[in-house]
Amino acid sequence: MAVTIRDVARQAQVSVSTVSRALSAPGLVKETTRQRVLDVVAGLGYQPNRAARSLITGRTGNLGIVVPDLENPFYPAVLRGVQTRAGEAGTSVFFCDSREGPETEAELVRTMAAQVDGVVLCSPLQSDEVIAELADLTPLVLINRTVPGVSSVLMDSGSGMDQIITHLESLGHKDYVYLGGPATAWSHQRRLQGLRDRAPMLGPFEPNFTGGLTAAQEALKTGATAFIAYNDLMALGVLSHLAEQNIKVPAQISVTGFDNIIYAAMCSPALTTVAMPTEEAGKVAVDLLAARLEGAPPESRELPTKLVIRASTRNIRC
Amino acid sequence: MAVTIRDVARQAQVSVSTVSRALSAPGLVKETTRQRVLDVVAGLGYQPNRAARSLITGRTGNLGIVVPDLENPFYPAVLRGVQTRAGEAGTSVFFCDSREGPETEAELVRTMAAQVDGVVLCSPLQSDEVIAELADLTPLVLINRTVPGVSSVLMDSGSGMDQIITHLESLGHKDYVYLGGPATAWSHQRRLQGLRDRAPMLGPFEPNFTGGLTAAQEALKTGATAFIAYNDLMALGVLSHLAEQNIKVPAQISVTGFDNIIYAAMCSPALTTVAMPTEEAGKVAVDLLAARLEGAPPESRELPTKLVIRASTRNIRC
DNA sequence: CTGAAAGCGCTAACAC
DNA sequence: GTGTTAGCGCTTTCAG
């Protein structure tokens, strides 16, 4: 059997409560005794039993995150941020991939709720009602989605779209088209708002490579000189289809994405895209969750985005 | 406060032990009472408190996985497999990214050990000794690594290398070079074995895009007609460098990778590579872990790999 | 087949 | 400052 708090107490010649206090409320115990306890703890390699602790405190010291698609590098990046910040606080993170399934998403949160102190929900596809219900079950922080009364961290998609269009127009493009993502995705709606009817929207398409393949076909029919993809994965699909059709990017058509996933810099031509503060968003989400656990009211934070100009966009006159 | 087993017992007019049995040892209770209990459970929405349960059983019902680099799509794929199989068993999974840091890796396993029933360790860079020590701490399953006395699931890298070379030679290549990965990586060693000195090795290089950039530079000096990259990420870097140098792939040089990450099909030219049964490996790892928990001895399983021929390799005479 | 009771390891009143 | 004690919610003997 593992070493328990009693073993430590016995060897340090104090009571179990003193050991407990020395460990979790250092201020309440005399420095010398505390040191003695700590020495014994180190000597015995004592590790408090989390189950016992959480049984009594009601806290698990864990947090959960559910993402819609781990194959989209956008989410691993968020995950890293969450892990980093959570790790600093000694919190472990449960992870789940909902595979773009709204019901799965809700189900996963419900399952997690029982064993975490709170969950981070990335780009949920659920209705506001369901999300509000989930937030009722466990402290919730949304990423890229707002629901009244629920904390969230947003990445400014609207401004990102604005930056893309400004860039495109500065290159002389007048005829561009937006290749839309899932209608229920908050990011998509925000990008649409940023578009302000300055370009027609096609779609919705699946927010992945395959979706981009399809989107490119439709977009070609419009005669537009620039394609604005909902995200990088889709843009990669667009690039691939255009390459296959022997259409030169950016000579004939300019293409932009969203997210700045690592492959955006690796493909050719390298993709002009909007960088999202993914890792930062993960960290902020953990902070917001921590605040909620301390009793703070729900809060929303919006992080800035920034256009990254690479090789997939070019002056129309060239 | 949440509903407890006592609430259920009271309402179902049975003792708590009967409720407990109805839930976790259905055979020990009369069918009719069991049904009554189950009805009450459903009605009240009772969920057993995991902390209390694990305090007494010593099991957490969780498992952990640590991967070296979540940005390499290879690992999200493994993660998915793990999640899928674990989910079927009602097990949750803790996740951690060691960012290619051997000490971090060990530290993460130690931290996890306290709160999981076992951990899956992907492509560890640690020494056999450290891994054996970790395996002593908690049931361990290795992916892409063998250590005596520890369960592992392997993907047949040697055969993959063999398939690549056979393919290359069938295309008339005689002069090819292997761009090596981290010397401590088991996969790298296995690939080297598969090479059987039929080609020189360069490197080691970092197993990522940047590493590929560097590797391509060195490889070009050799005058080889085909570059075999340690993995796809590296191959992507190679492709990128060659494109930049205006060297045509596969017309002038053929390039192959390993892993068949999703981007291998998305880049241009699409990459000839060795498909790894990543998701399957994740599932098998969970199975092996479950077996160990049941008291089975350590076991190793090797999964087959398969060459996927795409557009980055071509007959040397074309 | 079912119930009573004894803890699992820890924290948090409550005393001193 | 420190010790004593009563549980947290559950499983598991042990009786019946």
Q: What is the pLDDT along chain B (318 residues), one digit of tens a residue?
A: 689 999 999 999 999 999 999 999 988 999 999 999 999 999 999 999 999 999 999 999 999 999 998 888 999 999 999 999 999 988 999 999 998 788 889 999 998 998 999 999 999 989 999 999 999 999 999 999 999 999 999 999 999 999 999 999 999 999 999 999 999 899 999 999 999 989 999 989 999 999 999 999 999 999 999 999 999 999 999 999 999 899 999 999 999 999 999 899 988 899 999 999 999 999 999 999 999 998 899 999 999 999 999 999 999 866
Task: Give the distance, in angstroms, between residue A20 CA and nucleotide C13 C1'.
Answer: 14
B73 touches chain A (CB under 8 A): yes
- The pLDDT value recorded for residue B102 is 84
pLDDT tens string A116-129: 999 999 999 899 99
Q: Which residues from B are below 8 Å from A47, CB to CB?
A: 114
B150: left (phi over 0), alpha (psi -120 to 50) or beta: beta
CA atoms within 13 Å, Cβ hemisphere of B248: 5
Q: How many contacts, defined by CB atoms under 8 Å, are there between A and B?
A: 102
Percent of chain A at pLDDT exceeding 90? 85
Residue B119 pairs in a beta bridge with: B64, B140
List, by residue range, all CATH 1.10.260.40 domains of chain A.
5-57
- Which nucleotide does the CA of A21 lie closest to, via C1'? C11
Start-to-end Cα distance in chain B = 75
- The pLDDT value recorded for residue A99 is 85
Where is B154: in which H helix or E strand? strand B151-155
Where is B63: in which H helix or E strand? strand B62-67
Does nucleic acid strand D have an atom less than 7 angstroms from the CB of B28? no
Rounded to whole angstroms, how far apart are CA atoms A212 and A267? 15
State the residue for tokens 């699409």: B270
Taking an 8 Å cut-off on Cβ atoms, the answer to whether B93 and A92 are in contact is no
- The pLDDT value recorded for residue A83 is 94
- The pLDDT value recorded for residue A318 is 60
Distance of CA B138 to the CA centre of its chain: 18
DSSP code of B248? -
According to CATH, what is the number of the domain B5-57?
1.10.260.40
Taking an 8 Å cut-off on Cβ atoms, the answer to whether A76 and B76 are in contact is yes
- The pLDDT value recorded for residue B211 is 96
CA distance B95 to chain A (A): 6
Q: Protein contacts on strand D: list nucleotides below 7 Å from a Cβ.
A: 1-5, 7-13
Which residue in A54, A76, A266 is closest to B236 by CB distance?
A: A266
Which residue in A50, A60, A263 is closest to B263 by CB distance?
A: A263
CATH of B62-154+278-304, one of 1.10.3720.10, 3.30.565.10, 3.40.50.2300, 1.20.1050.10: 3.40.50.2300
According to CATH, what is the number of the domain A157-276?
3.40.50.2300
- The mean pLDDT value for A153-164 works out to 96
Q: Which residues from B are below 8 Å from A206, CB to CB?
A: none
List, by residue range, all CATH 3.40.50.2300 domains of chain A.
62-154+278-304, 157-276
Taking an 8 Å cut-off on Cβ atoms, the answer to whether B266 and A96 are in contact is no
pLDDT tens string B112-126: 998 999 999 999 989
Interface list for B 173-212 with A (CB within 8 A)? 209
Q: Is B270 exposed, middle or buried (CB count within 10 Å of its CB: 0-12, 13-18, 19+)? A: middle
Which residue in A95, A114, A237 is closest to B93 by CB distance?
A: A95
pLDDT tens string A84-112: 999 998 899 999 999 878 888 999 999 89
pLDDT tens string A242-282: 998 999 999 999 999 999 998 999 888 999 999 999 999 99
Greatest Cα pair distance in chain A: 84
